[in-house]
Structures are given as C-alpha cells and as structure tokens.
C-alpha cells in the first residue's frame, strides 16, 4: 500500500478545491449526485488533514461531491457548520466530533432533516446516528498498559488521558485500568498523577508533565499516555530533566513523529489504528446510506455500554476494527514496510549505517 501521506499531492489538492466548491453551490438533491459532508474537530491533530484529503479523494473517485469544514476545537462552531451542511443539501455527514455530547444536538437535527450521520472514530452520544465506525478503543487502552508493563511493572506511574470531551479517551482509560488495576491493588504500582489533556494538545501535555515532575521531584517510573501527541509533549518535559528514554511512555496512532520517537528510543510503544481501512469504509458507507442501500457489518451496541453512562438510552450500529501494538521490535515491519508511514520520515535522524534496509 502507498504511504497515507502520498495522497497530499498537488492533483489531490486541486480536486479538494473542486469538490468543496461544487458541493457548496447546491441547496437541493435534484441532480442525482451523492453529496457528503465532512466535519472535522480540528486539523492540529496530525492524522485529521491526511484523512480529510483521503476521504475527499475517495469520494471524488466514486462520483460524489464533498463539503468539508473544520471547527478548530470549537464545539458550537462545529454544530453550526453541520447545520449549514444540511442546508446545503448533503445526503450524509461524516463527523469527527470535538465534543461527543455537544454534537448530539446536531445529529438529532440532521436526522429530522432527513440527513444521515456517521460518527467517525469518535462517538457522538446520540441514538440517531446511522453508524459509528472506529477501532476497539477499550483494547487500545489495554494495549497501551500492556506495552508499559512489558518494560516496567512497578513503581510510580503517571496517567495522561486525552480530551475529556472525547468519549474515546474514557474508553482508553477503561482499558488501561483493566490491565493496571491488579498491580495497583497489590501495591506494585502507585498512581502519583492522573491528568486529562484538553484538546489532546501536546502543549497542554508538556505543561502538565512539567508540573507533575516538579511535584514528584522527578521520581516517576512510567507514563501511560493516551496518544502520540500527548506523549510527545510529556517527552519534551522529561527530556529537560534527563528522563526521556529512561522512563517508559505509551502512545497511540502510530504517527510518523511517534514512530520516529520509537526508533530514537524515547517513546516506548504506540498503538497502530490502520486508517487505510477506516477511511474507505466511511466513504463506502456514506454512499450506500445516501442511496438507501443496506450497510453490512454493523452490530448494535447500547449507548450506555459505549459511554459507561447508564443514563444514556438507545442503541447505535457500530463497526470496530482491530488495533496493533507497535514498539522498536516491529515498527519497521508493521508501520514502515507496510507503507503506513514513510521510511524517510521515521528514520530521518538515524545514521544511515544504523537504519534497516529501505523497503
């Protein structure tokens, strides 16, 4: 497979402009062309602009039009943008929610207007979703905790959760604690700090970790961080104290920066979620839903089960993909050789004599 970033080339960027403007000029559904809305929480997260470009490319190749907007971490703005997409006459909207609770209002209103909504990778807390597609997010958390315990199974642990408005962050923590709890109960592990990182922002993670290191006088033995971005911020703080590469730390998403950090010996492990499988699924599903076709592979889950909130009622059709644990022993095979990330990005600062062969 081609590297996922190879889609960001001039021809694709021209197509992006074309697809957005052809979608924006329509207010009805009288031309027979499927119109898909793409609503992104932000483009600061490394993966989102890549997946936006890939989704737009795939939709265009299948004859669909696309209206794409980004909310820059503003939940109200995202709801307004979704409402605007409905007014523009889209058939289906794929949403990467900034706030899974706030976006529920937009989903409910879209359904009333006859527009179907797919929650992409992040759950939206509404039973009016046409589908929720993601990865096994509890298993992501388990995988992170196992990856750290493989290296360090006792001592002072720090937990860095994701954005509190992202339901995935809650599920990651559930999986992490399933694995860590026996060690916590036995006294082998002591949780000395437990923080959530607003917006998954590496800069926030940096500040949080600086404060933790000060409070703990640098006496920490491991960090369970919930994605590569927050791990990267924490690593910066640890590097300033001479702890980077000495204190094991987890990540998620197998970003090129995260994988680069693994081969450089600073990030211990990451969790690969192969979006090359998720993104085509989203576009194929959106087109099928727009045409009124039956979508296969979906299983209904209770909202209470997905959110760990018994107050939420109803069910959501879901499809969850498997995840892969990645560390220094398999980063080349799983990430680089498979084409998920570029060889030159991951091994950029590694001397040629110490690099594995180019795939």
Task: Over range 70-86, report the average pLDDT.
Answer: 97
| pLDDT per position as a tens digit, 308-327 | 999 999 999 999 999 999 99
pLDDT band per the 50, 70, 90 thresholds, residue 148: very high
Between CA 176 and CA 128 the distance in angstroms is 29
Task: Over range 80-100, report the average pLDDT.
Answer: 97
| pLDDT per position as a tens digit, 151-193 | 999 999 999 999 999 999 999 999 999 999 999 999 999 999 9
Left (φ > 0), alpha (ψ -120 to 50) or beta: where does 232 sit? alpha
Name the β-bridge partners of 317: 300
pLDDT band per the 50, 70, 90 thresholds, residue 4: low
Is residue 8 pLDDT above 50, yes or no? no
| pLDDT per position as a tens digit, 26-69 | 334 456 899 999 999 999 988 899 999 999 999 999 999 999 99
Is residue 25 pLDDT above 90, yes or no? no
pLDDT band per the 50, 70, 90 thresholds, residue 19: very low
Between CA 315 and CA 312 the distance in angstroms is 9
Domains of the chain: 4-121+274-295 (3.40.50.2300), 137-272+325-354 (3.40.50.2300)
pLDDT score at 32: 80
pLDDT score at 30: 53
pLDDT score at 15: 39
Left (φ > 0), alpha (ψ -120 to 50) or beta: where does 210 sit? alpha
Is residue 223 pLDDT above 70, yes or no? yes
> Nearest-CA neighbor of 51 among 32, 35, 65, 70?
70
209: tokens are 């970790």
Between CA 307 and CA 330 the distance in angstroms is 32
The DSSP secondary-structure symbol of 198 reads G
CA distances from 197 to 95, 99, 110, 227 (A): 21, 14, 30, 10
pLDDT score at 11: 36
pLDDT score at 35: 98
pLDDT band per the 50, 70, 90 thresholds, residue 3: low
CA distances from 328 to 204, 334, 336, 356 (A): 27, 11, 12, 12
Give the mean pLDDT of the chain.
92
Task: Over range 327-348, report the average pLDDT.
Answer: 97
What's the first-to-final CA gap in the chain, in angstroms? Answer: 12
pLDDT score at 13: 39
Percentage of the residues of the chain whose pLDDT score is greater than 70: 91
pLDDT score at 10: 37
| pLDDT per position as a tens digit, 248-290 | 999 999 999 999 999 999 999 999 999 999 999 999 999 999 9
Q: What is the SS3 assignment for 338? A: coil
Is residue 150 pLDDT above 70, yes or no? yes
pLDDT score at 209: 98
């Amino acid at each position: 497979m081609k590297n996922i970033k190879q889609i960001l080339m001039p021809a694709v960027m021209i197509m992006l402009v074309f697809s957005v403007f052809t979608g924006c000029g329509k207010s009805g559904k009288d031309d027979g062309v499927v119109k898909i809305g793409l609503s992104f929480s932000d483009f600061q997260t490394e993966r989102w602009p890549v997946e936006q470009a890939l989704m737009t490319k795939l939709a265009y190749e299948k004859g669909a039009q696309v209206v794409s907007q980004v909310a820059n971490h503003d939940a109200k703005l995202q709801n307004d943008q979704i409402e605007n997409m409905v007014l523009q006459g889209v058939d289906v909207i794929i949403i990467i929610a900034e706030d899974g609770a706030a976006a529920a209002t937009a989903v409910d209103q879209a359904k009333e207007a006859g527009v179907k909504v797919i929650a992409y990778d992040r759950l939206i807390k509404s039973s009016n979703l046409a589908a929720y597609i993601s990865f096994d997010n509890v298993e992501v958390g388990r995988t992170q905790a196992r990856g750290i315990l493989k290296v360090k199974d006792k001592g002072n642990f720090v937990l860095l959760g994701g954005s509190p408005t992202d339901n995935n962050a809650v599920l990651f923590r559930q999986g992490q604690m399933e694995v860590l709890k026996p060690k916590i109960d036995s006294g082998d592990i002591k949780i000395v700090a437990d923080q959530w990182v607003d917006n998954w922002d590496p800069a926030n993670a940096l500040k949080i970790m600086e404060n933790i290191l000060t409070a703990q006088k640098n006496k920490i033995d491991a960090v369970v961080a919930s994605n590569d971005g927050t791990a990267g911020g924490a690593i910066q703080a640890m590097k300033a104290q001479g702890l980077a590469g000495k204190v094991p730390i987890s990540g998620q998403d197998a970003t090129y920066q995260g994988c680069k950090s693994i081969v450089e010996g600073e990030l211990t492990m990451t969790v690969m979620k192969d979006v090359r499988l998720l993104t085509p699924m989203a576009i194929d599903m959106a087109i099928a839903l727009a045409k009124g076709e039956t979508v296969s592979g979906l299983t209904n889950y209770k909202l209470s089960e997905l959110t760990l909130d018994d107050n939420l009622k109803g069910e959501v059709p879901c499809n969850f993909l498997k995840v892969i644990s990645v560390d220094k022993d398999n980063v080349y095979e799983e990430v680089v050789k498979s084409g998920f990330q570029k060889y030159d990005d991951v091994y950029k600062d590694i001397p040629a004599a110490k690099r594995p062969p180019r795939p």
